[in-house]
């Protein structure tokens, strides 16, 4: 009798405790994505991916018995709006971490707020200055433009092309890339014979390309995000410009190929490995995660999982990892993010430290070439 009663009481207590665990408030993660506007090719797959990953985590039981809740807003790629929405996420929504924003300019604008309010930010943009110098509360998942520049310059050095023209967009991403292109040139024996810019909304860059054609340039590097680089590719073909053409990782998606059309043929781009996941050797430590992500995104959205959605996958999974290790408060999540070691994600294998909040090495990039409207790996 007493044994049965004790067993019944134990069962009731277990049920109550389980109910309490699953009834616990969700862990709120903020999201800032440029879902509309010129940077929608970044923000839409990022938003889709973040939602997809969090839904799957919750279906599998959440993290330590608690659900994750994504509170996401569309910044439209506007830095002022990003600041307002970051403030809303922190003050009104009470998030414990923020994933995003999508662009370098937005990320730089949001940094002072998250630093002041002590909320960890995992930016999805590429500008090196987001995490260099290191900021206590700021991390990033997009590969640094410094690494992308190095990857291009290595190839030019191999081909013995020393005289180079650069054409960069006059926004946060372009400015950061231009700084790196200039800073690293001498290291690789590169001389910049032409250094020009274009505006984010410019629709014809024939004047800049005509000037480059008249220079001694042996190759052209374009640094920007869609649609500008696609316009440049078309203008270059119209002018009959025969120079080898390199683009930044800012156009590392099929969207660029769609926009540039036939003019995309032969263009080379440093990219995260996700766009060539099926071409990687089985020994590559990222291949399993990459293939799973590509398939998952295809199933959910009838489109290829790309380089940009991968940044959001990494950010959410890095925050999840911090929570799995016992972090629930913003301060604890920040500390655990900084202790991340050897996490094989979509953008590369991440190892953060107090001196490095970017977490990736040069092996995060492969150089790809567009052939027959698809990617091939440049050996």
Question: b vs e for 332-363, b when ≥16 Cβ sit within 10 Å of the residue's Cβ?
Answer: bbbebbbebeebebbbbbbebeeebbbbbeee
Residue 14 has pLDDT above 90, yes or no: no
Least Cα distance to 38 among 233, 175, 171 occurs for: 171
pLDDT band at 23 (very low <50, low <70, confident <90, very high): low
The phi, psi pair for 246, rounded to 5°, reads -115, 140
Q: Give the mean pLDDT of the chain.
A: 93
> Percent of the chain scored above 70 by pLDDT?
94
> Percent of the chain scored above 90 by pLDDT?
87
Record the tokens describing residue 136, joined without a space: 């206590």
Residue 179 has pLDDT above 90, yes or no: yes
Which one-letter DSSP state was computed for residue 67?
A: -
The CA distance from 363 to 261, in Å, is 29
Question: b vs e for 286-295, b when ≥16 Cβ sit within 10 Å of the residue's Cβ?
Answer: bbebbeebbe
What's the pLDDT at 285?
A: 83
What is the set of domains in the chain, with CATH numbers? Answer: 22-143+286-362 (3.40.50.2300), 146-271 (3.40.50.2300)
Instruction: Give the predicted TM-score (pTM) of the model.
Output: 0.86
Q: Tell me: the pLDDT tens digits for 83-102?
A: 999 999 999 999 999 999 99
What's the pLDDT at 24?
A: 85
Strand order in the sheet with 121-123: 68-74, 27-33, 97-99, 121-123, 138-140
The CA distance from 243 to 335, in Å, is 47
Q: Tell me: the pLDDT tens digits for 112-152?
A: 999 999 999 999 999 999 999 999 999 999 999 999 999 99
Is residue 187 within 8 Å of residue 157, measured between CB atoms? no
Q: What is the mean pLDDT of residues 63-84?
A: 97
Q: How far is CA 37 from CA 44, 161, 201, 294, in A?
A: 10, 37, 12, 25
Q: What is the mean pLDDT of residues 296-317?
A: 92
What's the pLDDT at 363?
A: 87
Question: b vs e for 208-221, b when ≥16 Cβ sit within 10 Å of the residue's Cβ?
Answer: bbeebbebebbbbb
pLDDT band at 5 (very low <50, low <70, confident <90, very high): very low
DSSP, residue by residue, 74-132: E-TT-HHHHHHHHHHHHHTS--SEEE--SSHHHHHHHHHHHHHHT--EEE----GGGTS
Beta carbons within 8 Å of 119's beta carbon, 6+ residues apart: 90, 95, 96, 97, 98, 137, 330
Q: How far is CA 18 from CA 12, 24, 88, 105, in A?
A: 10, 10, 33, 45
Q: Tell me: the pLDDT tens digits for 27-49?
A: 999 999 999 998 999 999 999 99
pLDDT band at 21 (very low <50, low <70, confident <90, very high): very low
What's the pLDDT at 289?
A: 87
Is residue 102 within 8 Å of residue 44, measured between CB atoms? no
State the pairing for strand pair 349-350/245-247: unpaired
């Amino acid at each position: 009798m007493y044994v049965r009663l004790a067993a019944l009481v134990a069962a009731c207590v277990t049920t109550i405790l389980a109910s309490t665990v699953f009834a616990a408030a969700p862990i709120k993660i903020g999201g800032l994505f440029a879902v509309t506007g010129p940077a929608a090719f970044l923000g839409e797959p990022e938003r889709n991916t973040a939602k997809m990953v969090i839904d799957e985590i919750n279906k599998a039981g959440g993290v330590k018995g608690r659900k994750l809740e994504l509170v996401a807003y569309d910044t439209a790629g506007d830095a002022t709006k990003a600041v307002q929405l970051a403030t809303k996420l922190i003050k009104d929504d009470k998030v414990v971490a923020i994933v995003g924003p999508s662009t370098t300019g937005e990320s730089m604008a949001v940094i002072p707020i998250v630093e002041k309010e002590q909320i960890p930010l995992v930016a999805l943009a590429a500008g090196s200055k987001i995490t260099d110098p290191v900021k206590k509360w700021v991390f990033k998942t997009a590969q640094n433009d410094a690494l992308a520049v190095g990857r291009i310059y290595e190839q030019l050095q191999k081909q013995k092309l020393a005289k180079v023209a650069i054409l960069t967009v006059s926004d946060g991403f372009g400015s950061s890339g231009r700084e790196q292109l200039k800073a690293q040139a001498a290291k690789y024996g590169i001389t910049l014979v032409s250094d020009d810019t274009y505006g984010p909304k410019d629709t014809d860059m024939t004047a800049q390309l005509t000037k480059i054609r008249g220079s001694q340039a042996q190759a052209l590097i374009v640094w920007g995000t869609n649609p500008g680089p696609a316009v440049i590719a078309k203008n270059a073909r119209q002018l009959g410009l025969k120079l080898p053409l390199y683009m930044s990782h800012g156009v590392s998606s099929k969207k660029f190929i769609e926009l540039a059309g036939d003019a995309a043929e032969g263009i080379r781009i440093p990219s995260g490995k996700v766009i060539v996941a099926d071409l990687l050797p089985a020994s590559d430590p990222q291949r399993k995660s990459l293939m799973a992500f590509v398939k998952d995104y295809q199933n959910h959205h009838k489109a290829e999982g790309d380089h940009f959605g991968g940044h959001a996958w990494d950010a959410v999974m890095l925050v999840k990892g911090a929570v799995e290790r016992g972090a629930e408060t913003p301060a604890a999540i920040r500390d655990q993010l900084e202790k991340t070691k050897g996490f094989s994600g979509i953008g590369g294998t991440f190892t953060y430290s107090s001196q490095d909040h970017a977490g990736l090495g040069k092996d995060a990039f492969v150089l790809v070439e567009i052939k027959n409207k698809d990617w091939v790996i440049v050996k």
